[in-house]
Chains A and B, each alone.
Chain A
């Protein structure tokens, strides 16, 4: 029999997939979704992989599904953007073995470069069915139902957990499963579906296949609407008065939290599916004058209810994200309370929140590279070169991107993964006279950066690409990739030979050891003076990961700041910025924090006065 375990929401999702008989799971790391795929490493007999990017992951999952086994693709919202092209085809073809895509959103952008509501892509755009779990237990149950329904309807299902579901910790039932009952791979051609092309379909009056499949999708959508009328994830809770509260996914939990603080019991409609169950909603709206919809992040359900009211000529105030309460950021119970008070000024709030007065300025805490990280000395030298040659540095996503913030302020841009190289090419062809640089991490490079590099070379561009290679996806917690030499299970795997790759695409390849300050500088100088595209690869393992594994990075050296020689010029802080260097405003001098310093001694070369030794 099963047992109960206190686990992270993400592992509840993994477990749901395992109990459903998933045979293939693919994804790309991204907070808050990462642990879902990592969780598969615990289970035997499943192929789980860190794919090069999310579109590839979805392709792998689709290929498995069409081979009649259950599969899963795991990504965060940015990854869903990347895989959209395939989503916009598999929605037309349908699937064979159950296929579930996890598209995890990060409202407020706690660990993201943007905030977005991926329901718009997967539902409004791709018309796929979506489960929006309100908590981790529900997420697991939804995964299992999604596999059943996916096969029943031949549709790919989406689970859209938000960060507070992914990173919640709750007691989850782990049920038993019978591996012998899971279907084995069996490919069956279905050319009318799987060959997506603009060919005529005679039996539908000669319309082209894309239109015919679109018609199929529209009919499926109606079928799903009916199906979700009876879904256990949508329900009504009775209350008093003519104001109703609608809670979608995590929004429902904030309503329930706020309900305990309100002096009145409002009727609640919990909605965790898309398409919405129209009849259920119409029933709820019957004796209401206003409803407030609480959802993360965009007014998706709010707009669907408005549309429903319009279709049924129901005069109703439908309030929500479109402006009644803040249209950006995470929901909170307080936002629910404020919105309810605004809609119903008569209502009493029990124990109204009174903020504590705190009369002190609290400094912000930004992230930076770890003490000892090779990226710090690499970025230090890139900054020296960029300053000397007045370069423009295009940034990308990864640990190195902390060089964009104070104190370094080296990179001028951060967009999406891989964008640095292409943007640098654009600046060059725009006629920018200053030399252009791009800085990209290894995992990001294999994700979508290499296309930009091939293009830069092919177009006869000119730039210096600095590839920060630490052999892992460090920022999300050390997931391996095509340049790591190991796979998700830690087994040995093929490793891309970057020298041969660079040679094959016609760029000039250089290598630097970032702990060798002088040669790093000289190599970068050489690169910036070259014609064409230079690829400068800085290959040293992630310090945080490597030092835990006992790798020796440098000969440790005790370093001190000579307080007589230090004149408080701040070069070590502004250009190097190691957190172990502390500036004391009182005496305008720097000292080294013994508790944080790892004795790499790289700061010693930074000080021009020789005060650090």
Chain B
């Protein structure tokens, strides 16, 4: 088996925590894991792309090649669109419908597409997937920083490879103490979004 996952978002959205949870899950099942992320200017609101590859066979390159991704997790709408080429024909996506404007869209140089346009483009380009309001949910729970954990909850629900309760155990294990309760709530909330 193999599971090639890509998480696309913006610096500060917590994609690293999400990859750590999923990696730990795979490692506990004795699978090979290899990943990489582009983190250059991530702390300054730049794009962040995390590649995560899980397989029972040897994995060579840490990069998921275009058209080979099994799962594309989009933490932010245009970062998701930017990486859509990675998704395999039979792959699926989970998109957090959330717009973080860029410096240029703020300026009015670029135009940030509307939610309707984004949804239409995504449905046109991809067959299988889920569009969810993870950040809205996280904000309802009190902290947008939990977007990543809400998304993990969705993944645990929709993907047979990731057993819901087992992923939860890892969220529990690696969450910093002061966020533990919030994170578990966010994880549960994710399940209810799909």
Interface residues of A (CB under 8 A from B): 6, 31, 110-111, 135, 164, 167-171, 250, 252-254, 256-257, 332-334, 351, 353-370, 399, 402, 405-407, 474-475, 477, 544, 570, 573-574, 577, 579, 581-583, 585, 593, 595
Say yes or no: A354-B46 contact (C-beta < 8 A), given A167-B36, A170-B33, A365-B79.
no
Residues of B within 8 A of A254 (CB): 60-61
Enumerate B100-118 residues with CB–CB distance to A below 8 Å.
101-113, 117-118
Known: A31-B39, A351-B67, A368-B45. 4 other contacts (CB 8 A): A6-B23, A253-B62, A363-B105, A366-B46
Q: What are 14 residue pairs bridging A and B, where the CB atoms are less than 8 Å apart in the complex?
A: A164-B62, A253-B62, A257-B63, A334-B66, A355-B85, A356-B85, A358-B124, A358-B125, A360-B121, A361-B110, A363-B110, A573-B107, A579-B106, A585-B111
Residues of B within 8 A of A544 (CB): 43
Contact B108 A358 (CB under 8 A): no
Tell me which of B10, B38, B84 contacts A167 (CB under 8 A): B38
B24 CB–A CB distance under 8 Å: yes
Q: From B48, which residue of chain A is reached at the shortest CB distance?
A: A365
Most-contacted residue by chain B among A164, A367, A407 (CB, 10 A) = A367
Closest 7 CB pairs of A and B: A111-B40, A363-B110, A256-B60, A353-B67, A360-B121, A367-B44, A367-B41
Most-contacted residue by chain B among A253, A353, A361, A362 (CB, 10 A) = A362
Contact A360 B81 (CB under 8 A): yes
Tell me which of B107, B111, B126 contacts A361 (CB under 8 A): B111
Chain A contact surface mostly? loop
Contact B67 A477 (CB under 8 A): no
Residues of A within 8 A of B19 (CB): 169
How many chain B residues have a CB neighbour from A under 8 Å? Answer: 57
Contact B104 A363 (CB under 8 A): yes
Contact B41 A256 (CB under 8 A): no
Say yes or no: A406-B61 contact (C-beta < 8 A), given A356-B84, A595-B144.
no
B34 CB–A CB distance under 8 Å: yes
Residues of B within 8 A of A475 (CB): 41, 43-44
In the assembled complex, the Cα of A336 lies from the Cα of B105 at a distance in Å of: 36
Interface residues of B (CB under 8 A from A): 10, 19, 23-24, 27, 32-41, 43-47, 60-63, 65-68, 78-79, 81-82, 84-85, 87, 89, 101-113, 117-118, 121, 124-126, 139, 144
Contact A169 B34 (CB under 8 A): yes
In the assembled complex, the Cα of A254 lies from the Cα of B62 at a distance in Å of: 9
Contact A583 B87 (CB under 8 A): no
Q: From B41, which residue of chain A is reached at the shortest CB distance?
A: A367
Residues of B within 8 A of A364 (CB): 102, 104, 110
Contact A399 B109 (CB under 8 A): no
In the assembled complex, the Cα of A362 lies from the Cα of B110 at a distance in Å of: 9
Contact B35 A168 (CB under 8 A): yes
Contact A583 B107 (CB under 8 A): yes
Contact A582 B101 (CB under 8 A): yes
Contact B44 A354 (CB under 8 A): no
Contact A333 B10 (CB under 8 A): no
Tell me which of A252, A360, A406 contacts B104 (CB under 8 A): A406
In the assembled complex, the Cα of A164 lies from the Cα of B109 at a distance in Å of: 33
Contact A365 B47 (CB under 8 A): yes
In the assembled complex, the Cα of A171 lies from the Cα of B58 at a distance in Å of: 12
In the assembled complex, the Cα of A573 lies from the Cα of B103 at a distance in Å of: 9
Contact A333 B65 (CB under 8 A): yes
Contact A407 B111 (CB under 8 A): no
Contact B103 A370 (CB under 8 A): no
Say yes or no: A359-B121 contact (C-beta < 8 A), given A6-B23, A169-B23, A332-B65.
yes
Contact B38 A366 (CB under 8 A): no
Tell me which of A252, A354, A366, A399 contacts B67 (CB under 8 A): A354
Residues of A within 8 A of B41 (CB): 111, 367, 475
Contact A370 B102 (CB under 8 A): no
In the assembled complex, the Cα of A110 lies from the Cα of B151 at a distance in Å of: 27
In the assembled complex, the Cα of A399 lies from the Cα of B121 at a distance in Å of: 35
Tell me which of B44, B82, B112 contacts A399 (CB under 8 A): B44
B75 to chain A, nearest CB (A): 13
Contact A110 B38 (CB under 8 A): yes
Contact B126 A356 (CB under 8 A): yes
Say yes or no: A367-B46 contact (C-beta < 8 A), given A355-B85, A356-B125.
yes
In the assembled complex, the Cα of A356 lies from the Cα of B60 at a distance in Å of: 25
Contact A368 B38 (CB under 8 A): no
Residues of A within 8 A of B109 (CB): 406
Residues of B within 8 A of A402 (CB): 44
Residues of A within 8 A of B103 (CB): 365-366, 368, 405-407, 577, 579
Tell me which of B44, B66, B78, B139 contacts A362 (CB under 8 A): B78
